[in-house]
Chains A and B, each alone.
Chain A
Amino acid sequence: MSDTVATADPGYAAARERPPAGLVGPWAWARANLFSSWWSTAITLLLVYVILRALFGFVEWAFVNAIWTVPYNAQGRPDTAVCQNAKGIGACWAIITDKYRLILFGRYPYEEQWRPAICVVLFIGLYVVSAMRRFWRKELALIWVGTLAVIGVLMWGGVFGLQEVPEDYWGGLPITLILATFGLAFAFPLAVLVALGRRSRLPAIKLLCVLYVELIRGVPLISVLFMASVMFPLFMPAGVNVDKLLRAQIAFILFAGAYLAEVVRGGLQALPKGQGEAADALGLPYWKKTGLIILPQALRLVIPPLVNTFIGFFKDTSLVLIIGLFDLLTMGKVALSDPPWQSFSTEVYVVLAIIYICFCFAMSKYSRGLERELNRARRR
């Protein structure tokens, strides 16, 4: 109705076809978003100046004046005099080209390093498959078990003609991924049980769960890791020796379990009470009610915060540096302890930061996309 009236007026129709030049196009956009007032203009000009200076400075340091390779002397030692001269004006990426295998794979036997490399690819593949909603089925658990088993075989070796490599020689990116993945794979079921326990009507179980969650959340991760490295050997019967990596892994599982339990509890609380009551009315016993009605809905609600917690724990694996486990960050420090390279820490830290950013940014991007998708589904 209004359309016909509007188009009947020739002037109006013309105006609708071509908006005034001042309202569209890059200039109008810039005026609205960059120069809308004196104050905004001042901020824009200042920021443009700062950003350009920082950008040119960085490009000059990282690319123009950078040194990519250094000569090696007769003993195969790098001669870093060129880098020392360029210090402060150009990056010395030669440390990365010299040490990247050490940083990525640690002290794993050099000829066998294709094995941890495949493991890293498998881990990433596992994450990608788990992220796709098409694979959100029961078979996903089988995929996880299978992949983790293959990774175990590849890392340890000793079968199928693979050379055996004990955990003491593992290091770098695989350690970071193992700590994060195995930690979360075991912490998640624990967290679901604890969250259910905390909402339980049985007072003794509820008390146990509350104590566990609040105790762990009240102390820093470092103290739990210290506990694993110095107190855990005291807990074991004489003669039993648990590997350092496994001890750190257990500490991680216990720590992550408490935090994930709170996230899961949020989902349980957000679920309308009627769902549980309806299940009760149908006569479902507790575990069927929980497994078929409550958990599928509650977990779906908390997927985005769960991914955020995962990101946090992925970053927190770097804390094993303090108890002397050779993860990615520790290997970076080990590479820096080599005398010729000692003063080039910035370069190593930048590369490590980029690796961490790649993983975390992919996860947070995914989490945000998922949140939008789930919200859309819920609104419909």
Chain B
Amino acid sequence: MSDVTADPRFAAGRAAPRRRLRLSWSDPTFRAIVWQVLIVGLVGLVLWYLVRNTNQNLAARHIATGFGFLDRVAGIPIGETLVPYNPAVNTYGRALIVGVLNTLKVAVVGIVLATLLGTVIGIGRLSSNWLLSKLTAFYVETLRDIPLLLQLLFWYTVLQGLPAPRQAIRLGEVFLSNRGIKVPLLEIQSAHEWAFLAFVIGLVATVLWNRRAARQQAATGVRPRVWPVAIGLLIGLPLVVWAVLGAPLTFEVPVLRGFNFQGGGTLSPEYFALLLGLVTYTAAYIAEIVRSGIQAVPQGQWEAAGALGLRSGMVLRKVILPQALRVIVPPMTSQYLNLTKNSSLAVAIGYQDIVSIANTTLNQTGQAIEGIAVIMAVYLTISLSISLFMNWYNAHIALVER
């Protein structure tokens, strides 16, 4: 290394001749600066023009800008809320938070269910059973060719076409009616809270045990069994805690009183239609991603793993999936982002997500710019969080190259 720098010829070659910036069109550096100044100036000019017009229009219409309206009483009735909310007392700020939580509620549940359904259908497409693979292909092709909004409207009318609560369709203790789906709800007692705490402790202990097993494998080559310990910690421990505290198990069953049901948990028709539409639509895309991911793993990998004497479950878990996931994860991320963004179509069927509530807010207060800014900020935050998490996961499973 030092030899190289000692060589006088190299030292001379390395010190590139410093060219001065010439004020001539034939100098690339000069050209680059001129182009950038021109384009940035143009964009700045357009933006300045728009902002100036906006300020003039706002002044002409006597609309005050700013987020002061967030502290005013909202008066927007909201059907379903995850946090306590009273339209007569609570502010616009609180209403928007309720909207964000409603969006997250449908997005998180939707992502989990769409992944499950999509994986099942994607594997179905690879089935050696001709009928099954054709049927799943038909599902994928049809669902992808119909606009999501049309599907949502369809599901919503189907759910509204269900009988009234008095004639509700009964499946065990679950009631289907045009007021939504009523399910029995577990009455939460202190024993359940302790059992949940035990589950969290068990989860942490499982992770630690897994790390220890990995260290031991690295040191000795023999991996201690993880799954019996994991089952014991994750299922056994909470069960024991629950049993010791008297094993309480009572359900709050929905009961028909007058024209509607009392008690139990409710899935509103709006929420259920949105969830159903989002899950079935996104699952069609996820199925294609899963199928192409598995097909991307060369056939030789199956055969080589089989030749090593691995059982078929092990082959899938240890050889195929880690390789397929590398292909699957990046497009899957964009499907998750799509599902989250598509949940904004809730406004068309009356589910009160952030778009719907922000839209009502901007209609009531006239704060158009702030309302849209809130919507965009919320979605940008959610999108960036999902991308960050999925990028971390992608880096975690990526091929480690030396």
A and B pair up = yes
With a 10 A CB-CB cut-off, give which of A43, A48, A203 has the most chain B CB atoms. A43
| Chain B interface residue count, Cβ-Cβ cutoff 8 angstroms | 52
Count of CB-CB pairs between chains A and B under 8 Å: 149
Which residues of B lie under 8 Å from residue A43 when comparing CB positions? 127, 129, 131-132
| B145, A364: Cβ atoms closer than 8 Å | yes
Q: In the complex the two chains form, what is the Cα distance from A353 to B380 in whole Å?
A: 31
**Residue contact B355 to A222, C-beta cutoff 8 Å:** yes
A48 to B142, CA, bound (A): 19
Query: Once the chains are docked, how many angstroms separate the CA of A155 from the CA of B146?
Result: 27
Q: Given contacts A43-B131, A329-B149, are A222 and B347 in contact (CB under 8 A)?
A: yes
CB distance from A87 to the nearest CB of B (A): 9
Which listed segment binds A: B54-62, B213-221, B247-255, B319-327?
B54-62
B246 close to chain A: CB less than 8 A: no
CB within 8 Å of B: which of A194-251? 201-205, 208, 215, 217-223, 226-227, 230-231, 233-238
Cross-chain contact B376 with A223 (CB below 8 angstroms): yes
Asked if A279 CB lies within 8 Å of chain B CBs, one says no
List, in ascending order, chain A residues with CB within 8 A of B345's CB: 222, 319, 322
Of A32-40, A66-74, A156-164, A165-173, the one touching chain B: A32-40
Query: Cα distance A233–B206 when bound, in Å?
Result: 58
Please tell me if the beta carbons of B376 and A318 are within 8 angstroms of each other in the complex.
Answer: no
Q: How far is the CB of A198 from chain B (nearest CB, A)?
A: 13
Question: Within 8 Å CB of A220, what residues of B?
Answer: 341-342, 344, 355, 379
The CA-CA distance from A71 to B347 in the complex, in Å, is 37
> Across the two chains, which residue of chain A brings its CB closest to B372?
A227
On whether the beta carbons of A48 and B157 are closer than 8 Å, the reply is no
In the assembled complex, A53 has its CB within 8 A of some CB on chain B: no
- Quick one: given A47-B132, A315-B147, A329-B150, are A215 and B341 in contact (CB under 8 Å)? no
Asked if residues B129 and A319 are in contact (CB atoms below 8 Å), the reply is no
Q: Are B372 and A223 in contact (CB under 8 A)?
A: yes
B130 touches A34 (CB 8 A): yes
Q: Please, which residue of chain B has its CB at the minimum distance from the CB of A41?
A: B129
**Residues of the A chain whose Cβ atoms lie less than 8 Å from the Cβ of B130:** 33-34
Residues of A within 8 A of B372 (CB): 223, 226-227, 230-231
Determine if A34 and B129 form an interchain contact, defined as CB atoms under 8 angstroms apart: yes
Check if B81 is an interface residue, CB within 8 A of chain A: no
CB proximity of A101 to chain B, nearest CB, Å = 20
Residues on B with C-beta less than 8 A from A202 are: 32, 35-36
Q: Which residue of A lies closest to B383 (CB)?
A: A218
Contact B375 A353 (CB under 8 A): no
Task: Please tell me if the beta carbons of B128 and A36 are within 8 angstroms of each other in the complex.
Answer: yes
The reply to whether B146 and A237 form a contact with Cβ atoms under 8 Å apart is: no
- Contacts of B123-166 to chain A: CB distance below 8 A: 127-132, 135, 141-142, 144-150, 153-154, 157-158
Contact stretch, chosen from A182-190, A344-352, A371-379: A344-352
Q: Is B260 an interface residue (CB 8 A)?
A: no
Say whether B129 contacts A44, CB under 8 Å.
Answer: yes
In the assembled complex, the Cα of A333 lies from the Cα of B158 at a distance in Å of 15
Known interface pairs A43-B129, A227-B372, A321-B348; A329-B147 also in contact (CB < 8 Å): yes
Q: Give 16 A-B pairs besides A220-B344, A231-B372, A345-B153 with Cβ atoms closer than 8 angstroms.
A: A43-B131, A43-B132, A204-B36, A217-B383, A218-B383, A226-B355, A235-B50, A235-B54, A237-B56, A316-B147, A322-B345, A346-B158, A349-B150, A352-B150, A356-B147, A361-B141
Chain A residues with CB under 8 Å of chain B are 33-34, 36, 40, 43-44, 47-48, 51, 201-205, 208, 215, 217-223, 226-227, 230-231, 233-238, 311, 315-316, 318-319, 321-322, 329, 333, 345-346, 349, 352-353, 356-357, 360-361, 364
A-B contact pairs, 19 of them (CB 8 A): A34-B131, A215-B376, A217-B383, A218-B379, A220-B341, A222-B347, A223-B379, A233-B57, A236-B57, A318-B150, A319-B345, A321-B149, A322-B345, A322-B348, A329-B149, A329-B153, A352-B150, A360-B144, A364-B145
